[in-house]
Amino acid sequence: MGSVTRIVVQRLLLGILTLLVVSIVIFTAVNLLPGDFAQAVLGQGATEEAIRSIRRDLGLDQNIVLRYLDWLGGVVRGDLGVSFAQMNFQSNMGGGEMKTVAAQIAPRFGNTMFLAGVTAMIAVPLSITLGVLAALYRNSAFDKGANLFTLSSISSPEFFLAYVLILFLAVIYPVLPSLSNIYEGMGFGERLEKTLLPALTLTLVVTAHMMRMTRAAIIQLLSSPYIEMARLKGISPMRVIVRHALPNALAPIINVIALNLAYLITGVVVVEVVFVYPGIGQLFVDAVKIRDIPVVQAACLIFAGAYILLNLTADIMSILSNPRLRHPK
């Protein structure tokens, strides 16, 4: 087995082990949440017998270890269970087909991925361009202005940036809709229009990290001997940075981009709530409100899995893009 293949396999095994540990933490933390689904369904006037009956029907009276093993076995088989809210609906209304947690999450996760994709298509090229220009014109007015703007945006809470954008782009200058009421069957153009405002909010949040890492990585390389040689040959500063410095700075840039892409999937809860965007973050908040444990557990596991997967991807791409990591001494 080659050195690169061995390192990749080690990273994958470590990712699986990390996800297993995270699943234990998620299950334990969710079951320690205050409140009780049976009590929330029946109300304050419910009798202890009725509460015990619902808890027994949902399996909440079983040992927590057995419940975890049962849940983990279902996850391995691709079965995330049925949400408590759906089970309660069926028992009270008596009809229709119960919707599994996976069926509930699938369209919401698709919406979140669409939002993350639109944000990434705006933020990644913008961040790299700003980082290259800031390194090229280091300590200039442009460099200082770009740093000030990005630091201001990252220092502001997401909900504050969201409401500022709503004020200027949906109220004062109504060019974009303030609510992202996405629905199934919506055309791509209309869907993109309703997604732009939350995407711009997330762009302001993640651009600073990527821009500053790009700038720092390029500036660090500008003092290298091969860069000095390229300058002595009369190559233009922009060509030196783009053709010689930027390819060798890819490893740290890829890492920070992957971390911010992970945030776009796991950290969109506030933005989705503000814009009423029907993503997995909004579903997660709604499930927490009614103590719908299967949905909360599934959403948390998806967030953790996406974060771990993107970190592993960044790690592997850093290895493949850096000869020193491919051939460690």
Question: What is the domain range of residue 234?
Answer: 101-289
Does residue 93 have a pLDDT over 50?
no
Question: 10 Å Cβ neighbour count for 8?
Answer: 17
Among 198, 196, 222, 200, residue whose Cα is nearest residue 131: 222
Higher pLDDT, 111 or 84: 111
327 found inside a domain: no
Does residue 329 have a pLDDT over 70?
no
195 found inside a domain: yes
Instruction: Identify the CATH number of the domain in which residue 219 sits.
Output: 1.10.3720.10
The phi and psi torsions of 138 (rounded to 5 degrees) equal -60, 135
298 found inside a domain: no
180 found inside a domain: yes
Q: What is the mean pLDDT of residues 24-51?
A: 73
Mean pLDDT of the chain: 81
Does residue 198 have a pLDDT over 90?
yes
Question: 10 Å Cβ neighbour count for 252?
Answer: 16
Q: Which amino acid is at 278?
A: P
End-to-end, the C-alpha distance of the chain in Å comes to 17
Per-residue pLDDT tens for 257-274? 888 888 888 778 889 889
Per-residue pLDDT tens for 240-250? 877 777 777 77
260 found inside a domain: yes
Does residue 90 have a pLDDT over 60?
no
162 found inside a domain: yes
Among 278, 273, 227, 281, residue whose Cα is nearest residue 249: 227
- Predicted local confidence at residue 95, as pLDDT: 46
Asked whether the beta carbons of 15 and 309 are under 8 A apart, the reply is yes
Per-residue pLDDT tens for 115-162? 999 999 999 999 988 888 888 888 889 888 888 888 888 888 888 989
The phi and psi torsions of 82 (rounded to 5 degrees) equal -120, 135
Domain count for the chain, please give it: 1
Using a pLDDT cut of 70, give the percent of the chain over it. Answer: 88
d(CA 129, CA 123): 10
156 found inside a domain: yes
List helix spans (H) across the chain: 3-31, 37-42, 48-58, 64-76, 84-93, 101-136, 141-155, 158-166, 188-221, 225-232, 237-239, 246-248, 250-266, 269-274, 280-289, 293-321, 323-326
Q: 42-56, 249-263, 280-294: lowest mean pLDDT where?
A: 42-56
204 found inside a domain: yes
Split at pLDDT 50, 70, 90, the class of 44 is low
d(CA 281, CA 302): 11
Asked whether the beta carbons of 128 and 214 are under 8 A apart, the reply is yes
